[in-house]
Chain A
Amino acid sequence: GAGVSQSPSNKVTEKGKDVELRCDPISGHTALYWYRQSLGQGLEFLIYFQGNSAPDKSGLPSDRFSAERTGGSVSTLTIQRTQQEDSAVYLCASSAPLAGVYEQYFGPGTRLTVT
């Protein structure tokens, strides 16, 4: 079946602009995660959604970052007033914990470049 999809695959934006990154999880997966992968760094957790529960936002680096998940499916990560240090690959993952599937399936990522 279809995997996790993300759009756009690449985004170049000017410093100070807002950007929106989209994630379509695997159908039926109740959990959705956003991670950031900066050059030379590992993956950094940003935010986690599980069903209708309040999201775990503990990894968001600043209040310029926000995310929402509509209808328990698609998620949008928004970065306001982008800075050069926001340049990274943003990865989305989903999983089906309620089905006992304890592994996260990752999308191909969105490469964000802030100029």
Chain B
Amino acid sequence: AQSVTQPDIHITVSEGASLELRCNYSYGATPYLFWYVQSPGQGLQLLLKYFSGDTLVQGIKGFEAEFKRSQSSFNLRKPSVHWSDAAEYFCAVGPWGFGNEKLTFGTGTRLTIIP
């Protein structure tokens, strides 16, 4: 069965500092990988996705993520965070070849930004 682990429940970062959110997945084949962001009281918004090709993918709001097959990881990064980045971040995996079936989500990482 597929699974996603986000080992950091809560991260606090100073505004302007760099950010890395960790995501490890377990999946028996080539996965589709996603990062979503959820602001308070809002639905989920897709930040970026990886299907194939270049393992470094760029997303919205200045985020990027790198797929590392050898480490089964898909970590999210941002070089300089803004106060508006405070939110909950979810990593998700879906079956390759479809990408539109049920996603398996991690438990999320809550990001707090301090001035």
Q: Are A42 and B42 in contact (CB under 8 A)?
A: no
Instruction: Kindly list chain B residues whose C-beta atoms are within 8 Å of the C-beta of A107.
Output: 43
Q: Are A56 and B101 in contact (CB under 8 A)?
A: yes
Segment from B11-19, B64-72, B78-86, B105-113 that makes contact with A? B105-113
Q: Are B105 and A108 in contact (CB under 8 A)?
A: no
Q: Are A48 and B105 in contact (CB under 8 A)?
A: no
Q: CA–CA, A87 to B32, complex, Å? A: 30
Q: CB of B45 within 8 A of chain A? A: yes
Instruction: Kindly list chain B residues whose C-beta atoms are within 8 Å of the C-beta of A48.
Output: 101-102
Q: CA–CA, A48 to B100, complex, Å? A: 10
Q: CB of A62 within 8 A of chain B? A: no
Write out, one digit per residue, whether chain B residues 6-36 have a CB within 8 A of any chain A CB (1) or not (0): 1000000000000000000000000010101
Q: CB of A52 within 8 A of chain B? A: no
Instruction: Kindly list chain B residues whose C-beta atoms are within 8 Å of the C-beta of A44.
Output: 105
A-B contact pairs, 24 of them (CB 8 A): A33-B102, A40-B107, A41-B107, A42-B4, A42-B6, A42-B105, A43-B103, A44-B105, A45-B102, A45-B103, A48-B102, A50-B100, A56-B101, A56-B102, A97-B99, A102-B32, A102-B49, A103-B34, A103-B46, A104-B46, A104-B100, A104-B103, A106-B43, A106-B45
Chain A residues near B (Cβ < 8 Å): 4, 31, 33, 35, 40-45, 48, 50, 56, 58-59, 91, 93, 95, 97, 101-109
**Given A102-B32, A102-B49: 18 more A-B contacts, CB < 8 Å:** A4-B43, A33-B102, A42-B107, A43-B90, A43-B92, A45-B102, A45-B103, A48-B102, A50-B100, A56-B101, A58-B102, A91-B43, A91-B44, A102-B100, A103-B34, A104-B103, A106-B36, A109-B43
